[in-house]
């Protein structure tokens, strides 16, 4: 009986202590929460960078790292939001013209009390404050379990070159898809189960310009994959309809040949725009199972989610980056190794701009090129207003991925006379991509040139512009067909 009473009392005391600790945590100031969040993010980011530099094959660890990365992005997003408000000045151009007036402002619920500039003087919205404490709690739990995770992590070999955290060559590596890459590589290297067929099929599905080709290219360039397969082939067409066994092989190009490999395993990459012809797909599978050695694999990419059903394993679904991850990406493009905290005005504008860009990688690279050339807050505000007008003109949904939807209107922000009623608008008719072999055929005029008015002579009629040229495989150039029109009914873009 005494033991039972003692156990009950001990449980009551333990619960009381837990309640007191929880109350103490809830009573922390915003500044203390931010300091704690900053410390946790430093620890988490260090572990993530170490993990992304190792060849991890365990699917459970890959999922765990993916969760850690998402929470890291979420934490940095909140941290930057708070810092923007903490250090924001009373500059009317930023606080009223561009940042505070937007209903999509990520920190619109924050208010500064006029009596104090300190962060403790903020009246923080309940939802934002709750998010902050929730992120801290999640990260604390992750850190608490880090010891066991680190032991498992150290058992995996290092990569030759770490792909993450390089501010100076961000445009030369694939951002935000490291875990999807490891998932694809893990599938390619694993043996197919006996009796289940000798051919594994991995679908990679996602909207246009989301990075499917880039992901496949990075997977095929991995040394583990190249050493595992004797031959890597890429199908040149974008529709299997009408293909036979003979024509299909003729329409494939060799991406890699490993003559030193004693195995005859093949990897075939098929990139489609939409659904696959059912009859052609069955014929291809029958041919492949007869002709390819055991352990051969197929990667098939498509914009259609229906293609997920053709795989022998779970499809990799590429989605738009979360707003937190996209902000992290854009922040590195804009500020590089510079601390954004040193430029609170520009950081505030950039956070607003990130939501207007609808998750577009191409838009991010183009705008970053434009803004890095002119670090005036006045100029950044003009770009923000034009990005917002571009989104509204094309009926794009803020914060959602719209890259696969055809944009029709884009506005030039080049200087125009104040007394002029005309405003030059370039109308986008269609867009397409060109491979590395066509690098000499891409137009010299870029979208940045159009926006800045940096062209020697006004193009006449329809003309092509270079939206972006990728610096990583498959080295695509993205081109738009445009035409200038005169438009008088427009928003005033002058500051």
Reported as a single tens digit per residue, the pLDDT across 420-473 is 444 456 667 677 788 777 667 888 888 888 777 766 666 777 888 888 888 888
Higher pLDDT, 23 or 54: 54
Look over the chain and give the mean of its residue pLDDT values, rounded to a whole number.
76
Say how far apart CA 54 and CA 151 lie, in whole Å: 13
Higher pLDDT, 87 or 376: 376
Reported as a single tens digit per residue, the pLDDT across 314-332 is 999 998 888 999 999 999 8
Say how far apart CA 285 and CA 320 lie, in whole Å: 31
Say how far apart CA 42 and CA 3 lie, in whole Å: 45
Residue 420's contacts (CB-CB under 8 Å, 6 or more residues apart) are none
Per CATH, domain 178-317 is 3.30.420? no
Say how far apart CA 298 and CA 240 lie, in whole Å: 14
What pLDDT shows up at residue 27? 54
pLDDT grade for 110, boundaries at 50, 70 and 90: very low
Alpha helices in 234-291 (DSSP H): 245-250, 278-291
Reported as a single tens digit per residue, the pLDDT across 217-274 is 999 998 899 999 999 999 988 778 878 777 888 889 998 888 766 668 899 999 998 8
Say how far apart CA 336 and CA 197 lie, in whole Å: 49
Say how far apart CA 203 and CA 311 lie, in whole Å: 6
Q: What is the mean pLDDT of residues 189-210?
A: 82
What pLDDT shows up at residue 102? 44
Say how far apart CA 426 and CA 483 lie, in whole Å: 5
Delimit the domains of the chain by residue range. 2-172, 178-317, 323-487
Q: Which of 46-55, 106-115, 210-219, 423-432 is predicted with the least confidence, judged by mean pLDDT?
A: 106-115
Say how far apart CA 275 and CA 486 lie, in whole Å: 40
């Amino acid at each position: 009986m005494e033991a039972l009473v003692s156990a009950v009392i001990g449980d009551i005391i333990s619960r009381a202590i837990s309640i007191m600790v929880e109350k103490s945590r809830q009573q922390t100031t915003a500044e203390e929460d931010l300091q704690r969040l900053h410390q946790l993010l430093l620890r988490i980011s260090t572990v993530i960078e170490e993990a992304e530099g190792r060849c991890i094959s365990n699917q459970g660890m890959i999922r765990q790292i993916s969760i850690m990365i998402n929470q890291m992005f979420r934490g940095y997003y909140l941290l930057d939001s708070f810092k923007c408000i903490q250090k924001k000045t009373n500059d009317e151009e930023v606080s009223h013209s561009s940042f505070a007036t937007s209903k999509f402002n990520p920190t619109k619920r924050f208010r500064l009390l006029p009596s104090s500039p300190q962060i403790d003087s903020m009246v923080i919205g309940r939802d934002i404050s709750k998010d902050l404490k929730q992120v801290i709690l999640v990260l604390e739990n992750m850190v608490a379990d880090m010891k066991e995770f680190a032991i498992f992590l150290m058992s995996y070999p290092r990569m030759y070159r770490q792909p993450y955290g390089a501010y100076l060559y961000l445009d030369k590596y694939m951002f935000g898809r490291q875990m999807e890459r490891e998932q694809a590589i893990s599938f390619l290297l694993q043996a197919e189960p006996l009796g289940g067929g000798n051919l594994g099929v991995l679908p990679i599905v996602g909207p246009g310009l989301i990075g499917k080709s880039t992901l496949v290219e990075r997977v095929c360039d991995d040394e583990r994959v190249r050493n595992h397969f004797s031959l890597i082939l890429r199908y040149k067409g974008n529709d299997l309809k009408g293909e036979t066994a003979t024509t299909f092989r003729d329409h494939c190009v060799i991406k890699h040949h490993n003559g030193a490999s004693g195995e005859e395993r093949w990897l075939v990459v098929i990139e489609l725009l939409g659904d696959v012809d059912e009859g052609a797909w069955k014929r291809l599978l029958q041919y492949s199972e007869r002709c390819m050695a055991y352990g051969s694999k197929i990667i098939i990419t498509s914009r259609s989610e229906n293609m997920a059903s053709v795989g022998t394993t779970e499809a990799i679904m590429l989605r738009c980056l979360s707003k937190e991850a996209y902000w992290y990406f854009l922040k590195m493009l804009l500020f590089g190794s510079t601390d954004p905290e040193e430029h609170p005005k520009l950081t505030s504008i950039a956070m607003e701009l990130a939501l207007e860009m609808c998750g577009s990688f191409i838009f991010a690279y183009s705008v970053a090129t434009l803004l890095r050339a002119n670090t005036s807050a006045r100029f950044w505000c003009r770009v923000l207003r034009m990005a917002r007008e571009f989104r509204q003109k094309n009926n794009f949904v803020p914060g959602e991925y719209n890259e696969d939807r055809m944009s029709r209107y884009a506005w030039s922000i080049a200087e125009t006379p104040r007394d002029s009623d005309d405003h030059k608008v370039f109308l986008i008719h269609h867009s397409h991509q060109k491979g590395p072999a066509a690098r000499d055929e891409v137009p010299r005029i870029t979208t940045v040139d159009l926006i800045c008015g940096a062209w020697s002579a006004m193009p006449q009629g329809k003309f092509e512009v270079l939206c972006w040229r990728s610096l990583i495989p498959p080295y695509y150039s993205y081109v738009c067909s445009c035409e200038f029109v005169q438009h008088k009914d427009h928003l005033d873009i002058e500051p």
